[in-house]
Amino acid sequence: MATNAGINLVRRMRRNRGTPSIRSLVRETVLRTEDLIQPLFVRSGEGDPDPVASMPGVVRHTVTTLAEECRKVAGLGIPAVALFPRIEPSLKDSTGTHATDPANVLFAAIRAVKKAVPGLTLIVDVALDPYTDHGHDGILDGKGSIENDSTVEALSRLAVAQAEAGADIVAPSDMMDGRVRAIRTALDAAGHQGVSILAYSAKYASAFYGPFRDAVGSGEVSAPLDKRTYQMDPANVREAVLEVQLDEQEGADMVMVKPAGPYLDVVRAIREATDLPLAAYQVSGEYAQIHAAAKLGWLDYVSTRDEALLAIKRAGADMILTYFAAEVAESLR
């Protein structure tokens, strides 16, 4: 005859999982709208936004539609957006001189967003790859490698121009040595002591960037571009911690790991190594693969999206750059 005596267990872990309300009480990690940053793309010209084929739901805005989108994003409670320009090929050259041209669409976009939504924090990438005809993040030397110091000088000029246009945070993503200190010095000398630096401290030479390069047009010349002489080896973690320590010493206000999902161990290692605010970028390839698998019926879209973001937060990120930001904010309402 069956009995209900069961086994003698003092602790039954399932008791804390029994109902939705109990699970909410003991939940260790919570993803909030305030944790999200929405990346947005902008192009010159007028008309409707252009869809990015490799990133469902993502578009290249005009300056006008970008301002409208930023109003919507702010209305959802998202505190910040990150802007990336799509530059016409005819304006590119080997040294990225259009980056600091007053006619650069990025500067018009910054001014338009700050006018439309003054309270929205505006993060702007400091990088030359949208402006170079070879697609690299810096200036090539005579041997085909990136020349570090001249690139840093160009990035410093770009950061100052972005600050003058109204950027709240500049985010050097180039991985050149010494660029954080040089940018901090240039910003301060130009009277922009209040502009913060979010350093892409651990940016890996990842295979997950392809759709982004499609969006900004930086992979049009020769894709995939080999950026392994300046972006980090995906095999390394200790090096990432050292990069963060150097950027912290040079004056970074915040640091970042990119990509996020495949590098959760790096996020955790850096969280334990610094007290600076930590960002993680859920990159275009992470976004695209969730969409692709869901379209094929292999994964549940919403559950997978939310679990991926929760994992990034659980690993230790304070803020997450994600193309899912606006729709997740809608769901959190």
Q: Is 128 helix (H, G, I), strand (E, B) or coil?
A: coil
- Residue 248 sits in a domain whose CATH number is 3.20.20.70
Residue with tokens 């400091």: 126
Catalytic residue among 114, 203, 227, 313: 203
In the residue annotation, 203 being an active-site residue is answered as: yes
In a domain, 25, yes or no: no
Distance between CA 279 and CA 267 in Å, rounded? 9
Structural domains of the chain, count: 1
In a domain, 202, yes or no: yes
For 11-43, the pLDDT digits (tens) are 999 999 999 999 999 999 999 999 999 999 999
For 47-106, the pLDDT digits (tens) are 999 999 999 999 999 999 999 999 999 999 999 999 999 999 999 999 999 999 999 999
Contact 284, 206 (CB under 8 A): no
Q: In the chain, how long is the greatest CA-to-CA distance?
A: 87
Catalytic residue among 92, 114, 227, 258: 258
In a domain, 11, yes or no: no
Domain boundaries, position 78: 31-332
Distance between CA 186 and CA 164 in Å, rounded? 12
In a domain, 55, yes or no: yes
Cβ count within 10 A of residue 189: 11
In the residue annotation, 227 being an active-site residue is answered as: no
pTM: 0.95
In a domain, 6, yes or no: no
In a domain, 13, yes or no: no
In a domain, 18, yes or no: no
